[in-house]
Amino acid sequence: MAVTKATSMPVETQRGTVSKKALWAGYILSFLPIPLLLMSAVMKFLKPSDVVEGFAHLGWPSELALALGILELTCVVLYIIPRTAVLGAILLTGYLGGAIATHVRIGEPFVVQAILGAVLWLGLYLRDTRIRTLIPLRRP
């Protein structure tokens, strides 16, 4: 059982202080991006003609599709596992940041990628008090 330095309470007990509404909202928000990211990873594995054309449009060689698919899938799996969800969110933030940079470079909108990143973190924020401690949105 992990112990935090600030309160010496088990992490599981601290998570228990989250209201049921916030916990459920956090899990729902955390789940929303997962199907989109999984579909994106699977499409990179299958490499249909649309994906190959999309890579060319974005200026990326289609040979990178497999590596990016593996990277994306790994990040999503880490995000799904509760013990590694924060690491998964950090890695997905970097991955989505790369997607945003790619779209900015060619002058395309990047709203979807930015929203996915925000929803990932909002879901974690609502269900995990450790994130609330790190990022206090209001004074105690």
Whole-model pTM?
A: 0.84
138: confidence class by pLDDT, cuts 50, 70, 90: confident
3-state SS, residue 10: strand
pLDDT tens string 13-69: 344 488 899 999 999 999 999 999 999 999 999 999 999 999 999 999 999 999 999
Q: Is residue 18 a contact partner of residue 126, using CB atoms and an 8 Å limit?
A: yes
User: What is the predicted pLDDT for the residue at 140?
Assistant: 60
**Could you give the CA distance from residue 108 to residue 101 in angstroms, rounded to a whole number?**
10
Q: Is residue 26 a contact partner of residue 18, using CB atoms and an 8 Å limit?
A: yes
**Could you give the CA distance from residue 34 to residue 54 in angstroms, rounded to a whole number?**
21
10: confidence class by pLDDT, cuts 50, 70, 90: very low
Choice between 100 and 11, residue whose per-residue pLDDT is larger? 100
DSSP string, 36-93: HHHHHHHHHHH--HHHHHHHHHHT--GGGHHHHHHHHHHHHHHHHSGGGHHHHHHHHH
Q: Where are the domains of the chain?
A: 19-134
